[in-house]
């Protein structure tokens, strides 16, 4: 029996046969060709096949893991059609008289290296995407389909897995996956969480494990190879208990989210698109604490119209039938880039031109969204939330713009909730320190712990080299949360948490002691958090 440590991406226990997955990388050789036009046709045909395959992967991901997670395949499709990529490949074939495989490989390597050397974390992440795209086209040139077939329920072990490889795996046969590379914020890790699949990264892997029995412990970040009888029995019992707990949690549906002493806490869900409402209903969330509106912008090649936005917001409000729906205004920028915004390169996009900063400087975009939100407020219990606030001046400016939009709608005879609740996200140290002043300007606070942790600790949460030092339980982060809640209550407004930390049940009792009023978590965490709250005094 051998034990290996890694970083857990998703909690859970998996027991099964290990399948060591090796990428079928092509040995590309340079070949001189006599007919460049025929070779260019080969390239175009292979590219067409790759494009169709990406479309199929998008459709599969859309059904299995939702639109947000499927969007990576749209990104790959766009990169495949990129002029720089295509022109460079064709230029090599024409001018150097080389085979298409070689031209694609050299172009992919060059562009991947260019991305990898950029300071911007978002663009560095595109280096892996570029390699994935070029390898896909080369595989098509070689006549390969690139499917990953599992003959029995297996734990996949690999150096790394591209998103396309992850989504192609048969969920009915996949027990867990373990990789040497990757980060907790990689596309593949996000897909693993969406698939509710135990996963580890940062494990020192060995090809010799292929075919052996393995255990993935997603709670303690351990991989156990060829466990002894006692260890195997222990984990089988843990796995059985895990399944029983899931069944018991279902009994909490319809129950109040209230502590033993009778204190009620609002338990809402975070969603990224209207299609996520199914998960909200299935897991019995009491409302929606964070509806990320940027899905309308990320899934389009142009600015969404007022009518398109209105229909999306109205659908959610009506489906929730009077339950709270908090919609966050546009949060584009940083790791969420959209070509038609023409944001340009930034040295530090996480602290750059993003979110409310775009809205306040490009007010027509903001006003279109506000009109849609206000119109939809006539069809349900909608609240509006503004991200990345750092000053009282920003809030005052926002309120003036909202007032103007309300006056326009009133003049046009359009119904809306004139007393709509407006709040802000607290996700910067500046907002924490002036939260006493900000509380006098808004109706509620929602603490975005993902960015707040990043900014409090000066640690890039998307940098895999810093995985070991990004401490969400850091005393500074917890003190900031406590301070925000206290300042909210002094001014008579409520405060909640909508970041991932809200689902950390090891902190539930701490948050209750701080006086938290609301927690908003991913739909799958609603029932575990409800249980944790009901177990507290």
Task: List active site positions.
Answer: 187, 498
Contacts 24+ apart (CB under 8 A), 126-132: 126/79, 128/160, 128/162, 129/72, 129/75, 129/76, 129/79, 130/79, 132/76, 132/162, 132/163, 132/164
Using alpha carbons only, what angle is made at residue 69 by residues 390 and 193, rounded to the nearest 5 degrees?
90
Is residue 492 a contact partner of residue 214, using CB atoms and an 8 Å limit?
no
In angstroms, rounded to a whole number, what is the distance separating the alpha carbons of residues 214 and 137? 34
Q: Residue 301 to residues 76, 208, 217: CA-CA distances in angstroms?
A: 14, 47, 42
User: In degrees rounded to 5, what are phi and psi of residue 345?
Assistant: -75, 140
Please compute, for residue 288, the number of CA atoms within 13 A of its CA located in the half-sphere on the CB side. 33
323's tokens = 């339950």
Residue 229's Cα: distance from chain center in Å? 39
Structure tokens at 145: 């389909």
Which tokens belong to 489? 């209550």
286 contacts 381 by C-beta, under 8 angstroms: no
Closest CA to 518 of 256, 257, 266: 266
CA atoms within 13 A on the CB side of 289: 31
Task: Write out the DSSP string of 39-60.
Answer: HHHHHHHHHHHHHHHHHHHHHH
Angle 363-376/306-319 helices, nearest 10 degrees?
30
CA distance 516 to 447: 10
Taking the C-alpha atoms of residue 104 and residue 65, their distance in angstroms, rounded to an integer, is 31
- The Cα 429–Cα 451 span in angstroms is 10
Locate the DSSP E strands across 287-443: 288-292, 325-328, 382-386, 421-426
End-to-end CA distance of the chain: 42
Among candidate residues 504, 506, 457, the one with its CA nearest the CA of residue 479: 457
CA separation for the pair 498, 137 (Å, rounded): 41
| Contact by Cβ (8 Å): 114, 99 | no
Say if residues 291 and 498 touch (Cβ distance below 8 Å): no
């Amino acid at each position: 029996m051998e034990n290996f440590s890694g970083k857990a991406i998703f909690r859970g226990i998996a027991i099964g046969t290990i399948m060591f997955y090796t990428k079928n990388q092509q040995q590309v050789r340079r070949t001189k060709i006599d007919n460049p036009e025929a070779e260019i046709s080969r390239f175009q045909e292979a590219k067409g096949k790759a494009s169709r395959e990406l479309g199929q992967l998008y459709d599969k991901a859309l059904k299995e893991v939702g639109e947000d997670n499927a969007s990576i395949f749209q990104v790959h499709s766009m990169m495949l059609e990129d002029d720089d990529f295509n022109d460079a490949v064709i230029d090599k074939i024409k001018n150097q008289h080389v085979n298409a495989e070689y031209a694609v490989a050299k172009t992919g390597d060059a562009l991947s290296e260019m991305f990898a050397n950029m300071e911007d974390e978002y663009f560095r992440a595109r280096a892996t995407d570029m390699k994935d795209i070029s390898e896909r086209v080369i595989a098509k040139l070689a006549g390969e389909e690139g499917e990953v077939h599992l003959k029995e329920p297996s734990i996949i072990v690999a150096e790394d897995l591209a998103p396309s490889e992850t989504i192609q795996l048969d969920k009915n046969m996949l027990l867990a996956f373990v990789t040497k590379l990757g980060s907790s914020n990689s596309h593949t890790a996000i897909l693993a969480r969406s698939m509710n699949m135990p996963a580890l990264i940062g494990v020192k892997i060995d090809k010799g494990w292929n075919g052996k029995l393995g255990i993935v412990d997603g709670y303690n970040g351990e991989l156990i190879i060829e466990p002894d009888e006692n260890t195997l029995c222990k984990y089988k019992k843990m796995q059985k208990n895990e399944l029983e707990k899931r069944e018991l949690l279902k009994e909490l549906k319809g129950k109040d989210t209230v502590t033993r002493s009778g204190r009620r806490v609002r338990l809402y869900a975070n969603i990224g698109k209207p299609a996520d409402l199914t998960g909200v209903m299935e897991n019995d969330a009491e409302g929606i604490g964070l509806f990320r509106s940027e899905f309308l912008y990320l899934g389009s090649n142009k600015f969404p119209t007022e009518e398109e936005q209105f229909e999306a917001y109205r659908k959610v409000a009506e489906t929730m039938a009077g339950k709270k729906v908090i919609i966050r205004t546009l949060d584009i920028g940083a790791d969420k880039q959209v070509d038609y915004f023409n944001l340009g390169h930034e040295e530090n996009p996480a602290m750059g031109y993003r979110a409310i900063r775009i809205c306040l400087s490009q007010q027509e975009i903001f006003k279109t969204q506000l009109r849609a939100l206000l119109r939809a407020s006539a069809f349900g219990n909608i609240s509006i939330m503004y991200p990345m606030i750092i000053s009282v001046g920003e809030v005052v400016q926002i309120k003036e713009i909202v007032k103007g939009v309300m006056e326009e709608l009133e003049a046009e005879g359009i119904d809306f909730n004139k007393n709509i609740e407006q709040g802000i996200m607290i996700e910067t140290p500046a907002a924490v320190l002036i939260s006493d002043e900000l509380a006098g300007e808004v109706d509620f606070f929602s603490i975005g712990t993902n960015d707040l942790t990043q900014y409090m600790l000066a640690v890039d949460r998307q940098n895999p080299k810093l995985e070991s030092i990004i401490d969400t339980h850091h005393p500074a982060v917890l003190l900031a949360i406590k301070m925000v809640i206290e300042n909210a209550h002094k001014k008579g407004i409520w405060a909640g948490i909508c970041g991932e930390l809200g689902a950390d049940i090891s902190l539930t009792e701490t948050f209750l002691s701080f006086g938290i009023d609301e927690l908003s978590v991913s739909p799958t965490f609603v029932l575990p958090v409800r249980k944790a709250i009901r177990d507290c005094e």
